[in-house]
Structure 1
Amino acid sequence: MKILSIQSAVAYGHVGNSAAVFPLQRIGVEVLPVYTVTFSNHTGYGAWRGPLISPEDVAAVITGIEERGVFPAIDVVLSGYQGGAGIGDVIIDAVARIKAANPAAIYSCDPVMGNAKSGCFVAPEIPVLLRERVVPVADIITPNQFELGYLTGTEPDSLESTLASVDLARAMGPSTVLVTSVERPDRAEGTIEMLVVDDRGAWILQTPLLPMKANGSGDVTAALFTAHYARTGDAADALARTASSVFDLLTRTHESGERELQLVESQEAYAHPRMQFTARQVR
């Protein structure tokens, strides 16, 4: 499998492609990383150095890949945080060209906009771009519960309302929706859930909620789920494998006391997930 991953990169720590590429490689995926920024560290520190890469330069890198004759062999396009509308245009164009070269290729979009605690933290034009132009051309989207509501103009909280919001999102274009950070009022205390819906049904999976914030964990989740699902078409299995891997990654990170994901140290969790969680069908 080959995945073209268009995301940010940092030298220190693990977010964007710096979080997604290594776990994908450890499960046997050939990754073609295209960078949208090259920063010293993620912006959560409040200070960073390094350049934004212009949409024109990002497009030039993708064109160079096309000129090597690689597009027919690309199975998946993966994108994450989009810093500006220009990058969105580049991604949409790349998806169209890759699908023209390989009609079986899919596009997986992580529509990064914010979270329930921080609110929306992207430029005002980004949610509009995602809702009106990017999500409609995606096959898979991986929003958190807050982002799902932002995309669909709803306030999902219960299982029923979250499923209804997912149906609205699927009506926009993507056939598969993975919702992360699902927090239902009636869930067991100290837990958090993920929900996936595709044409075959809907499944929910619950894990313990760890008392930590880990930048980049969503990027790992989107990457692993996309790869597992693209390989098998089995949403429940892809969800279980992803949750198992990411929970062990987060557990190791929490136990280390470090701020950054212990991405390399947790590599066996990607290659050989323990499968300690089971997805339950809810529809």
Structure 2
Amino acid sequence: MKTVLSIQSHVAYGYVGNRAAVFPLQRLGCDVIAVNTVQFSNHTGYGSWKGDVFTPAHVEQVLEGVGERGALDSCDAVLSGYMGDAAMGTVILSAVARVKTARPDALYCCDPVMGDVGRGFFVRPGIPEFMRDHAVPAADVVTPNQFELEYLTGCPVTSLAEALAATAALRSRGPKLVMVTSLTRAEAPEGRIEMLVDGDEGAFLVGTPRLPLDPPPNGAGDAVAALFLAHYLKTRSAAAALEGAAAAINAVFQETRRAGTRELQLIAAQDLMAAPSVRFPVERVR
């Protein structure tokens, strides 16, 4: 069994951040040490919420207590997402360094949560720069969406060729694997949304149906990053992890559409998330 330290946001209602990542990781057989960077009533996509962003000192204390139990020394991976504050990044990278000191083969998977196509940036000032200049270079795996990939590389992404150029540029800065959690390109078949992974074994593309979800659910990127990491820890194959993550998130989206809700239906879709009945072909593109 693999152990993942997941440092992300937390909401009481709904599924984003750790609420969108922890259960998928657990359902796919990982033990999870969840450390929350914020506690909100609900995700910010609703326009209003209650709660607090935790201070870096608070999160550092929680991690210190976990470390005193010896738990950080057994982690196979660290997953980070929404930070809440740029100063939180230093605490997260310190935790990554501690885990890697005990386990040099442990992975750091950075989900560089900053913004999205159509919304722009939705994080506090300083976070995008920290992601670009510090978190991404320290990561083994990064899981940006299309907007975040463009920001991190300064490259436009409107075609597969541009996407591959951008993932190659990002990999040149340190990460071994770049997994783009959502890709829309002009030459793609209509009604399809794609994910792309680029690593040492090659680059691979997978497409799933673009479902009419209105409003689109928040937290999908958080869930996809967790699903990809869980499959990658199990298989050590980027292509296999991409296939598994695509099938699982499609099952979640299908259940979310049936429920008619903007919240990801992770619990209702849990069996299909773990053993999808529908899979999608993965195409080597480099």
TM (norm. structure 2) is 0.97
- Higher deviation after alignment, 125-134 or 44-53: 44-53
Q: Which amino acid aligns with 1:12?
A: Y
1:30 aligns with 2:35: no
Identity of aligned residues (%): 52
Query: How far is the alpha carbon of 1:273 from its aligned partner?
Result: 2.1
2:104 match: 103
RMSD: 1.0
- Report Cα offsets for 1:218-249 as digits up to 9, x if no partner: 11100010111122111111111111010010
1:223 match: 226
TM alignment of 1:199-278, pairs within 5 A: 199-212=200-213, 213-278=216-281
1:178 aligns with 2:205: no
Q: Which amino acid aligns with 2:171?
A: R
TM (norm. structure 1) is 0.98
Contact persistence 2:10–2:38 (CA under 8 A):
yes
Contact persistence 1:245–1:274 (CA under 8 A):
no
Q: Which amino acid aligns with 2:148?
A: E
2:282 match: 279
Contact persistence 2:184–2:194 (CA under 8 A):
yes
Contact persistence 1:75–1:105 (CA under 8 A):
yes
- Distance in 1, matches of 2:206 and 2:139, equals 23
3-state SS, counterpart of residue 9 of structure 2 = strand
- The gaps in structure 1 that reach 5 residues or longer are none
- Distance in 1, matches of 2:179 and 2:285, equals 14
- Distance in 2, matches of 1:232 and 1:76, equals 14
TM alignment of 1:1-283, pairs within 5 A: 1-212=2-213, 213-283=216-286
3-state SS, counterpart of residue 51 of structure 1 = strand
Query: How far is the alpha carbon of 1:275 from its aligned partner?
Result: 4.8
- Distance in 2, matches of 1:57 and 1:178, equals 31
Contact persistence 1:240–1:275 (CA under 8 A):
no
3-state SS, counterpart of residue 198 of structure 2 = strand
Query: How far is the alpha carbon of 1:124 from its aligned partner?
Result: 2.9
- Distance in 2, matches of 1:230 and 1:25, equals 13
- Distance in 2, matches of 1:69 and 1:117, equals 43
- The gaps in structure 2 that reach 5 residues or longer are none
- Distance in 2, matches of 1:86 and 1:231, equals 32
Query: How far is the alpha carbon of 1:120 from its aligned partner?
Result: 1.8
- Distance in 2, matches of 1:88 and 1:54, equals 11
Contact persistence 2:256–2:264 (CA under 8 A):
yes
What is the number of equivalent residue pairs in this alignment?
A: 283
Query: How far is the alpha carbon of 1:104 from its aligned partner?
Result: 1.1
- Distance in 2, matches of 1:121 and 1:39, equals 15
